[in-house]
Amino acid sequence: MRPYQRRGKCIAINIGVVICLLIWVSICGGTDRWSRQDEKGLWVSPEASFRYGEIHGYLQTPDGGGVGTTSHHRPTFNELDIKYAAMGDVSLTAGLRNHALYGGARVVYLSGSDVLDSPLISRNTTFPAGTLVKGVVHLSWYRFGYQHRFLFSSDRGTALGLHPAVGLAIFDYKYTLNGAGGLFANRNYIKLAPQIGLDWEWRPKGRFSVSGGVWGALPIYDMPLILSAEVVGKFRLWGAEGSRGLVFLGIGYDRVEYHDRQNLPNHIKADIGPEVIVGLEVSF
């Protein structure tokens, strides 16, 4: 399965689950009483996770948009022997009743080295075939914004949460390529983009629950596309409503792409997934 097919499948799963939950709630409305709930007072929820998955894509990096200053859609991650991405994610959400502010960081640090099978041009530096090159790449992004929480509960103790959000994503890109004989190319930039998202959570009575989300930074004009989707199962270690700790395990997919408007553009593309996700969430 190709990366875009995997990504589309994960997004479709999230959308399908949300639709099924809404249909289920509607059908059960005749037997179960569902009511809108509010978060109680001031609350805080930190979260941390580790993600690991395959990565595919390329790092086309010209010099000032000049023709002939970069190879087309190269170097690829595979050329640099970067086949997997290990990522850390931390976030903090704090709110008053159903209104919340969130902030978070996805830290993506990649490095690898290999011998080039064919000549490579990057940032107007030519790396001949047979050159041992080492690449170091940062594809990190940060997010800040507002989230509104729609919470519903049934008389059987089941809870459903839908959490739409709007905010800002900050893409932090750093690229360095070194080759034998002092060959060197590098490029750094920071780009902003508006972000929208939807988190959902399904909590039957008991310790187990399921949640997921789809987030997208919109590529308006000269802005990056950052798309993230996940589905995780959670197990409550302690506490109940209001104060609790959970561990979670699931799958996710990410896509990062940036294409500027130069004659020969910077074109960064990274498809990451399927990812294994493991983490801890605390609420109080």
Q: What is the DSSP string of 63-121?
A: STT-TTSS-TT-SBTTTTT--EEEEEEEEEEEEETTEEEEEEEEEEEEEEEEE-SS-EE
Q: How confident is the model at residue 221 (pLDDT cuts 50, 70, 90)?
A: confident
Per-residue CA distances from 48 to 92, 104, 107, 177 (Å): 9, 10, 11, 31
Looking at residue 27, its pLDDT comes to: 45
Q: Residue 3's pLDDT band (boundaries 50, 70, 90)?
A: very low
**Taking 50 as the threshold, does the pLDDT of residue 144 lie above it?**
yes
Q: What is the mean pLDDT of residues 73-78?
A: 97
Over residues 115-120, the mean pLDDT reads: 97
pTM: 0.87
> pLDDT at residue 245 above 90?
yes
- Give all domains of the chain, ordered by start, each with its CATH number: 3-283 (2.40.128)
Q: Which of 28-32, 82-86, 220-224, 259-263 has the highest mean pLDDT?
A: 82-86
What confidence category does residue 34 fall into, taking pLDDT thresholds of 50, 70 and 90?
confident
- Please report the pLDDT score of residue 105 as a whole number: 98
User: Which one is predicted more confidently, 219 or 16?
Assistant: 219
Token pair for 215: 């987030």
State how far the alpha carbon of 40 is from the alpha carbons of 29, 43, 149, 164, 242, in Å.
25, 7, 12, 19, 7
3-class DSSP state of 206: coil
